[in-house]
Amino acid sequence: MLVEMKDICKDYPQGKETVRILKNINLQVEEGDYLAIMGPSGSGKTTLMNLIGCLDVPTSGEYLLTGENVTKANENQLAEIRNRLLGFVFQSFYLLPKLSAVDNVALPLLYAGVNKKERRERAIEALQMMGLGQRLNFRPNQLSGGQCQRVAIARAIVGRPKLLLADEPTGALDSAAGNQIMDIFDALNDAGSTIIMITHEQEIAERAKRINYIRDGILSDGRRDGESLA
């Protein structure tokens, strides 16, 4: 089991009170799975994604990632886990504007201690996978929104993560560019990548192998391909 969450709760202070955002979340994700999480604004889906991505820790419960209990990890340990096991794609691309596409993609490998020659080779390979072999030296302002998101995906996969996390990856794109991004996710999953994606679009969620719904901090068991919503 790649991801295993057991009775995860997350509380936040709100004035003099404490508000429970996530309520006894139980979630299992196997290697090679492709999960979409849907929910309305304020449902807790981004908080859940932050916990899965080791950007935050739960108030209670247990979270195992590749069998490793990360529930009590400190900030330095969480950073090491993120760098070693996780890749992130966000609605906002978060590309550094003064760096070329290849340098943006290579950046995580610099933090991982990979030598310069290998960093560049792997970054070029990842961009070629995204169909951007002719845009290696273009800066973000020279690329379309869809191309910037493909650079961001290349950056997310260049470290060969165990788990790819995507938070509204098509939210800033038109439908044509969004469909191109989803085609890339489909291909990555077909090649063995494990993907968890947050989206508010049913059509986008339907591209995943299963869908879980979150509302008021409670996560449904979800459904697999071909299963009825009823």
Measured CA distances, 219 to 9, 17, 48, 79, 139 (Å): 11, 23, 10, 26, 40
Give the residue ranges of the chain where pLDDT is below 70: 222-230
pTM of the model: 0.91
pLDDT value, residue 91 = 87
Residue 46 belongs to what domain range?
Answer: 3-94+161-224
pLDDT value, residue 102 = 98
Q: Tell me the CATH number at 71.
A: 3.40.50.300
Measured CA distances, 131 to 124, 143, 172, 191 (Å): 11, 13, 20, 16
Tokens for 102, please give them: 């290849």
Q: Residue 122 domain-assigned?
A: no
Number of domains in the chain: 1
Q: Residue 71 domain-assigned?
A: yes
Q: For 112-125, what is each residue's pLDDT tens digit? A: 889 999 999 999 99
pLDDT value, residue 103 = 97
